[in-house]
Structure 1
Amino acid sequence: MKPLFVLLVSCAWTLIGAQNYYQALMDYLENRLLAIEDRMQLWHEQAHQYRTEMLDFKKLTSEAMTGIKNDHSMMFKDLKGASARVDLVETEMDYVETQNSPRACANNAEKVLEQEAWGLQERDEVEEEDWEELQSRVSDCVEIISGIRSVKILKRIGSPKGMWTRDPKSSKLYVFNGTSGDTVYEFKSVRDFSTSLGVAGSRMIHLPSKWTGPGSAVYNGYLYYINQETDADVQVVKFDLMSGSVTDTAMFPMERHASLYTLNPETVADLAVDDEGLWLLFTPTDSEPNISLAKMDTSTLDIEQIWDTQCPRGNAEAAFVVCGTVYVVYNTRMASRSRVQCVFDVNDMMLTEEAPLLYFPRRYGAHASLKYNPEENQLYGWDDGYQIIYRLTIKTKLLA
Structure 2
Amino acid sequence: VLPTNPEESWQVYSSAQDSEGRCICTVVAPQQTMCSRDARTKQLRQLLEKAIKAKMDELRPLIPVLEEYKADAKLVLQFKEEVQNLTSVLNELQEEIGAYDYDELQSRVSNLEERLRACMQKLACGKLTGISDPVTIKTSGSRFGSWMTDPLAPEGDNRVWYMDGYHNNRFVREYRSMLAFMTTDNFTSHRLPHPWSGTGQVVYNGSIYFNKFQSHIVIRFDLKTETILKTRSLDYAGYNNMYHYAWGGHSDIDLMVDENGLWAVYATNQNAGNIVISKLDPVSLQVLQTWNTSYPKRSAGEAFIICGTLYVTNGYSGGTKVHYAYQTNASTYEYIDIPFQNKYSHISMLDYNPKDRALYAWNNGHQILYNVTLFHVIRSDEL
Please give the TM-score of this superposition, normalised by the length of structure 1: 0.59
- 1:327–1:351 CA distance, 2 compared to 1 (3 A): closer
Matched residue, 1:175: 162
Matched residue, 1:236: 218
Instruction: Quote how far apart the aligned CAs of 1:203 are.
Output: 0.8
- 1:191–1:174 CA distance, 2 compared to 1 (3 A): same
Matched residue, 2:207: 222
User: Take 1:311 and 1:357, find their aligned partners in 2: how far apart are those partners?
Assistant: 16
Instruction: Quote how far apart the aligned CAs of 1:142 are.
Output: 4.6
Matched residue, 1:385: 365
Maintained 8 Å contact 1:274/1:321: yes
Letter of the aligned partner of 1:194 in structure 2? M
User: Take 2:333 and 2:296, find their aligned partners in 1: how far apart are those partners?
Assistant: 20
Secondary structure of 2:361's counterpart equals strand
Instruction: Quote how far apart the aligned CAs of 1:374 are.
Output: 0.2
User: Take 1:348 and 1:397, find their aligned partners in 2: how far apart are those partners?
Assistant: 16
Larger radius of gyration: 2
Maintained 8 Å contact 1:260/1:291: no
Instruction: Quote how far apart the aligned CAs of 1:312 are.
Output: 2.4
User: Take 2:152 and 2:137, find their aligned partners in 1: how far apart are those partners?
Assistant: 21
User: Take 1:285 and 1:143, find their aligned partners in 2: how far apart are those partners?
Assistant: 32
User: Take 2:333 and 2:283, find their aligned partners in 1: how far apart are those partners?
Assistant: 33
Matched residue, 2:174: 186
Q: Does 1:293 align with 2:277?
A: yes
Matched residue, 1:365: 345
Maintained 8 Å contact 1:259/1:268: yes
Letter of the aligned partner of 1:384 in structure 2? N
Matched residue, 2:146: 163
User: Take 1:386 and 1:313, find their aligned partners in 2: how far apart are those partners?
Assistant: 25
Maintained 8 Å contact 1:259/1:286: no
Secondary structure of 2:302's counterpart equals strand
Output aligned runs, 1:1-400, within 5 Å.
142-170=125-153, 171-180=158-167, 181-196=169-184, 200-229=185-214, 233-253=215-235, 254-257=237-240, 258-285=242-269, 288-331=272-315, 335-348=317-330, 356-397=336-377
User: Take 1:316 and 1:190, find their aligned partners in 2: how far apart are those partners?
Assistant: 30
Instruction: Quote how far apart the aligned CAs of 1:359 are.
Output: 1.0
User: Take 2:367 and 2:140, find their aligned partners in 1: how far apart are those partners?
Assistant: 8
Instruction: Quote how far apart the aligned CAs of 1:331 are.
Output: 1.5
What are the superposed Cα offsets for residues 104-134 of structure 1, whole Å, 9 maximum, x if unpaired?
A: xxxxxxxxxxxxxxxxxxxxxxxxxxxxxxx
Maintained 8 Å contact 2:194/2:213: no
Secondary structure of 2:132's counterpart equals strand
User: Take 2:250 and 2:377, find their aligned partners in 1: how far apart are those partners?
Assistant: 34
Letter of the aligned partner of 2:307 in structure 1? C
Q: Which runs of structure 1 show a deviation greater than 4 angstroms over 4 or more consecutive aligned residues?
A: 139-142, 349-352, 397-400
Structure of greater relative contact order (alpha carbons < 8 Å, 6+ residues apart): 1
- 1:397–1:350 CA distance, 2 compared to 1 (3 A): farther
Structure 1: segments with no counterpart, 5+ residues: 1-135
Maintained 8 Å contact 1:146/1:356: no
The CA RMSD over aligned residues, in Å, is 2.5
Instruction: Quote how far apart the aligned CAs of 1:150 are.
Output: 4.0
Instruction: Quote how far apart the aligned CAs of 1:282 are.
Output: 0.4
Maintained 8 Å contact 1:350/1:398: no
Instruction: Quote how far apart the aligned CAs of 1:143 are.
Output: 1.4
Matched residue, 1:82: none
Structure 2: segments with no counterpart, 5+ residues: 1-117
Matched residue, 2:60: none
Letter of the aligned partner of 1:283 in structure 2? A
Instruction: Quote how far apart the aligned CAs of 1:397 are.
Output: 4.6
Q: Could you tell which deviates more after superposition, 312-321 or 270-279? A: 312-321
What are the superposed Cα offsets for residues 244-274 of structure 1, whole Å, 9 maximum, x if unpaired?
A: 1000000122244323313234212000000
Instruction: Quote how far apart the aligned CAs of 1:286 are.
Output: 9.8
What are the superposed Cα offsets for residues 287-338 of structure 1, whole Å, 9 maximum, x if unpaired?
A: 8341110000001000011111222224312101100000011226xx3111
Maintained 8 Å contact 2:125/2:374: no
Taking every aligned residue pair, what percent have the same amino acid on both sides?
28
Letter of the aligned partner of 1:172 in structure 2? R
Letter of the aligned partner of 1:263 in structure 2? W
- 1:343–1:397 CA distance, 2 compared to 1 (3 A): farther
User: Take 1:368 and 1:268, find their aligned partners in 2: how far apart are those partners?
Assistant: 12
User: Take 2:360 and 2:196, find their aligned partners in 1: how far apart are those partners?
Assistant: 19
Please give the TM-score of this superposition, normalised by the length of structure 2: 0.62
Secondary structure of 2:179's counterpart equals helix
- 1:234–1:178 CA distance, 2 compared to 1 (3 A): same
User: Take 1:388 and 1:341, find their aligned partners in 2: how far apart are those partners?
Assistant: 21
User: Take 1:314 and 1:302, find their aligned partners in 2: how far apart are those partners?
Assistant: 26
